[in-house]
Amino acid sequence: MLAFIAKRLAIAVPTLLLLVVFSFLLMHAAPGGPFTSERGLPPAVLANLNAKYGLDQPMWRQMTTYVWGIVSHFDFGPSFIYKDRTVNEIIAQGFPVTLTYGSISFVVAVLTGVGLGVSAAIWHNSWLDYLAVGISIGAQVLPNFVMAPILVLVFTLWLGWLPGGGWEGGQWQYVIMPVVALSTSFMASIARITRSSMLEVMNSNHIRTAKAKGLPMRKVILRHALKPAMLPVVSYLGPAFVTMITGSVVVDMYFSTGGIGKAFVDSALNRDYAVMMGVTILVGTLTVLFNLLVDVLYAWIDPKIRY
């Protein structure tokens, strides 16, 4: 197991390096720079700015300086657009927000999704099953950028129950709509996966044996069926996590939560090279770690898997 983890971590390093180089080159290849502005800066001013931020250096030099800054003292540099702030500060402010509503959405999606999926499988072909399947397909095809304005319209403007946006340090009334908008489609996916996997397991030999032995249904499900049925759900959590970060773009834009998703899109559009790289590296690292975590969890659930 330890060897496996070590091996995976060893892959993580080239992965992240590839990501850094690729996005660095891509970003610098984009037309315009961080100081391209409508008014057009006089050449002397532009030269001063480029010198200050090291953009007058050759590309390889900029890249090595950048990577060295991260490796030596975890410094992602200053933002080119939010000039009072460093990338570390921008991430330190936005990431906890995204992490908060992201992990709440994650938990909500997993609990309701698994619950819905398991019930649908147990009462297979009942009205509950059809309802669950209906909900899960419906929720998957409704994009969250449609859902967000509908939520605001209903709960803020018509009913006046919830504030239409903001974060306010994560008070509950500000968290509800972002979580609903973000978690619904994952809940649906998880429900669908759980349902089919649960059906598969329920029809397998060892469950049939358990049932034949006369164990009560509840015990069969909790003790024997649930764990193996969770395998595909667990392997879905990796990609789900990444999609969730992407989904946070919509949440940040509609609910003004000030998270990391909007920061990324803004930085790409503003050519804020440093913030863009910082967020990409952060998300890349998290993805690698999360995938690793998922693999470990997978191995724990299914001891048959050998590495």
Partner 1 sequence: MKTKLLLSTILGLALAMPAWAATHPVTGEELAANQDYTYWLLDAIKSMDPQINTDVEGSGVLRSLFEGLFNEDQVGGLVPGAALNFDLSDDKTVYTFHLRPEAKWSDGKPVTAQDFVYAWKRLADPEFASEYAWYMELMQVVNASAIIAGEKPVDELGVKALDDNTLEVTIEAPLPYFPQMLTHASTFPVRQDVIEAWGPKWTDPEHMVGNGAYVLKEHILGEKVVMEPNPSYWDAANTILQHVTALTINDNNAALTRYLAGELDRVAIPAGQYPRLAAEYPAEANSVPQSCSYIYIFNMDPVKGPAALQDVRVRRALSYAIDRDVIVNSVLQGGQAPSYNWTHAATAGFEMPDIEYSHLTQAERDAKALELMTEAGYGPNNPLALTLNYNTSDAHKKIAIAVQQFWKKIGVDLTLNNMEWKVHTDKMQAQDFDMGRYAWCGDYNEASTYLDFFTSYSGHNNGKFVSEEYDRLMKESKTAENPNLMYTAAEQILADQMPMAPIYQYTQVEMIKPDMRGMSTENLMQNWYLKDMYRVAQ
Partner 2 sequence: MVIDSTRMKSLADRLAVDEVKGRSLWADARKRFLKNKAAVGGLIVLLLVLVFAAFGGTIAQYSNEELDFSIMGQIAEKGGPSLANGHYFGTDDLGRDLFARTVQGTQISLAVGIVGSAIAVLVGTFYGAFAGYVGGRTDNIMMRTVDILMSIPYMFVLILLLVVFGRSIIMLFVGIGLISWLDMSRIVRGQTLSLKHKEFIEAAEATGVSRLIIIRRHIVPNLLGVVAVYATLLVPLMILTESFISFLGLGVQEPLTSWGALISEGSGTLNYGTYWQLAFPLFFFVITLFAFFFVGDGLRDALDPKDR
Q: Where do contacts with partner 2 occur on this chain (CB under 8 A)?
A: 11-12, 14-15, 18-19, 22-23, 26-27, 29-31, 124, 137-138, 140-143, 145-146, 149-150, 153, 157, 185, 188-189, 192-193, 196-197, 199-200, 203, 231-232, 235-236, 239-240, 242-243, 245-246, 249-250, 264-265, 268-269, 279-280, 283-284, 287-288, 291
41 part of the interface to partner 1, by CB under 8 A: yes
Q: How far apart are CA 257 and CA 175, in angstroms?
A: 9
Contact partner at residue 288 from partner 1, partner 2, none, CB < 5 to 8 Å by partner kind: partner 2
263 part of the interface to partner 1, by CB under 8 A: yes
- State the nearest-atom distance from the C-beta of 92 to partner 1, in Å: 11
Judged on CB neighbours under 10 Å (0-12, 13-18, 19+), 128 is: middle
Q: How far apart are CA 285 and CA 262, in angstroms?
A: 19
Q: Which is nearer to partner 1, 122 or 182 (CB)?
A: 182
- For residue 78, the cross-strand partners are 86
Q: Which is nearer to partner 2, 29 or 44 (CB)?
A: 29
- For residue 86, the cross-strand partners are 78
Q: Which tokens in the block code for residue 257?
A: 């939560």
Q: Which tokens in the block code for residue 134?
A: 């209906």
Q: Which of residues 157-176 bind partner 1 (CB under 8 A)?
A: 157, 160, 163-167
For the chain, where are the E strands, in sequence order? none
Contact 252, 304 (CB under 8 A): no
H helices within the chain, ranges in order?
2-29, 43-52, 59-73, 87-122, 127-141, 144-151, 172-202, 205-212, 217-219, 226-229, 231-255, 260-270, 273-301
Contact partner at residue 284 from partner 1, partner 2, none, CB < 5 to 8 Å by partner kind: partner 2
149 part of the interface to partner 1, by CB under 8 A: yes
Contact partner at residue 303 from partner 2, partner 1, none, CB < 5 to 8 Å by partner kind: none
Q: Which is nearer to partner 1, 97 or 201 (CB)?
A: 97
Listed residue (264, 268, 274, 265) closest to 52, CA to CA: 274
Site string for partner 1, 91-130 (x = CB under 8 A): --xx------------------------------------
